Amino acid sequence: MVGCASHRFNLFVGDVLADYEDLLCAVHAIIKKLSNIIPAAKLHRLTPLYPKQRKKTRWSSSVAMLARYVELKPFLPQLGLDDIDMLLLNSRQERDMELLIAQLTDLTSVTLALQDESLTLADVRLLFDDVVVEYPGAEVCLGPDASVVEDPTFESGVVKALQYIDASLNEDKRMAIALLSMPSMPDGGYVSDTDSMSMAARALNRRKLLQARSNYLDCRFLRPTSNMCERLFSVTKWAMTDRRRSVLPSNLEEQLFLHCNSFLWGSEDSRASWRVKPMSRV
C-alpha cells in the first residue's frame, strides 16, 4: 500500500532531465569523443582526470558527467583536435549547463536524504513539499495525491498519525488506517517531572506525550522506500558467486541475515555461539 518514495523522486528528476536532453546529448558527445584512443592519450598528458560517460539507467551518472566536463573544459582547447573543437558548447549552452548543475546539486541532496534508513513517511512528505515549492511541476510525481501513489488516502492518514495530528483525520483517512488504531493513554497516564529536566529532555518528553495520547500505533515501521530491500538484493547478488552455488538456501539466508544485522552482534557473541559445553561423563 506504500510505494517507494525514491522511485517517485527518480521519475520527477527524469522529467527535469528531459527538458535538458539536447544539452546532455551535446556534453555526452564531447565526453564520448574524449574516450577515444588519441584524444584520451593527449588528455592523459594534461590531467589525470578521465571522461565519465552518461548512463541511461541512473540519473546520477548525468551529474557525474557534467561535473567531470566542467573539470576537463580548461584542457580541451589544448588538445588541438578539430573534432573536439567542433563539439564545444556555445555560450547559451554553457549558461544552461550551469543552471542544470545547480538544480541537480539540490536534487542530489534530496535523494541522499531518502537513503536514510531512519526516514519516515512524515519526513518524506516534508522533503517533497519543499521540492514542490521550488519546482511546481513536481506536483505530478511528488504530490500527496499524485497518480503514481498506490493509496493516497492511506499514506496521508499515516503521515498525520506520525505527526500526531490524527484528530484532523477525515472519515476516509480514518477508515484507511483503522487497522493501525490502538487505545490511547489517558491524560494522567503518563506523568513525568518536567521541572528537573533539561531543555533537550523536555523536547523529547513532549514527543513521548504526544505518542502516548495518539490513537494509532507508532507508524515509523512503515518504510517509505524500498532502498533497504534493494541493498539486500545487491549484497545477495555479489555473494552468490560460483563458489557458493552449492550453498543451501537456508545457510545463505542465515549468513545474509547475520551480515545485514552485524551491528547487533560482535566478536564476543560469535565466540559464545561456538563455545560448546563439555559433555558430562556417565
pLDDT for the residue numbered 247: 83
C-alpha cell at 264: 547487533
For residue range 231-275, what is the model confidence (pLDDT) as tens digits?
778 888 787 777 777 888 888 888 888 887 887 877 787 777 776
Asked whether residue 182 falls in the same domain as residue 243, the answer is no
Q: 189 by DSSP, 3-state: which? A: coil
Asked whether residue 132 is domain-assigned, the answer is no
Asked whether residue 232 falls in the same domain as residue 217, the answer is no
Asked whether residue 179 falls in the same domain as residue 193, the answer is yes
Sign of CA dihedral 261, 266, 267, 270: negative
Tell me how many degrees the CA angle 147-219-261 measures, rounded to the nearest 5: 105
Asked whether residue 24 is domain-assigned, the answer is yes
Confidence category of residue 127, pLDDT binned at 50, 70, 90: very high
In 10 A of CB 74, how many CB atoms? 10
Asked whether residue 247 is domain-assigned, the answer is yes
Asked whether residue 163 falls in the same domain as residue 194, the answer is yes
Q: In the predicted model, is pLDDT for residue 116 greater than 70?
A: yes
Asked whether residue 136 is domain-assigned, the answer is no
Distance, in Å, from the CA atom of 57 to the CA atom of 30, rounded to the nearest integer, reads 20
Distance, in Å, from the CA atom of 168 to the CA atom of 165, rounded to the nearest integer, reads 6
Asked whether residue 174 is domain-assigned, the answer is yes
Asked whether residue 12 falls in the same domain as residue 85, the answer is yes
Confidence category of residue 71, pLDDT binned at 50, 70, 90: very high
For residue range 20-32, what is the model confidence (pLDDT) as tens digits?
999 999 999 999 9
Q: 181 by DSSP, 3-state: which? A: strand
Asked whether residue 177 falls in the same domain as residue 113, the answer is no
Asked whether residue 92 falls in the same domain as residue 30, the answer is yes
Asked whether residue 203 falls in the same domain as residue 231, the answer is no
Asked whether residue 195 falls in the same domain as residue 231, the answer is no
Closest CA to 216 of 187, 248, 181, 191: 181
Q: What share of the chain is helix, strand, coil (3-state, %, to 5)?
A: 65, 0, 35
Indicate the number of domains in the chain.
3
Query: What's 159-170 look like in SS3?
Result: HHHHCCCHHHCC
pLDDT for the residue numbered 172: 87
More confident of the two residues 213 and 2: 2
Q: Which residue range(s) make up the domain with 267?
A: 227-272
Asked whether residue 12 falls in the same domain as residue 99, the answer is yes
Q: State the average pLDDT over residues 31-46.
A: 92
- Largest alpha-carbon pair distance within the chain? 92
Asked whether residue 24 falls in the same domain as residue 52, the answer is yes
Asked whether residue 118 is domain-assigned, the answer is yes
3 strand-pairing partners: none
Contact call for residues 1 and 154 (beta carbons, < 8 A): yes
Residue 34 CA: distances (Å) to CA of 26, 81, 254: 13, 10, 47
Asked whether residue 117 falls in the same domain as residue 157, the answer is no
For residue range 210-225, what is the model confidence (pLDDT) as tens digits?
555 567 777 788 888 8
Asked whether residue 13 is domain-assigned, the answer is yes
| pTM for this entry | 0.74
Distance, in Å, from the CA atom of 267 to the CA atom of 74, rounded to the nearest integer, reads 52
Distance, in Å, from the CA atom of 206 to the CA atom of 204, rounded to the nearest integer, reads 5
Confidence category of residue 203, pLDDT binned at 50, 70, 90: low
Asked whether residue 213 is domain-assigned, the answer is yes
Q: 98 by DSSP, 3-state: which? A: helix
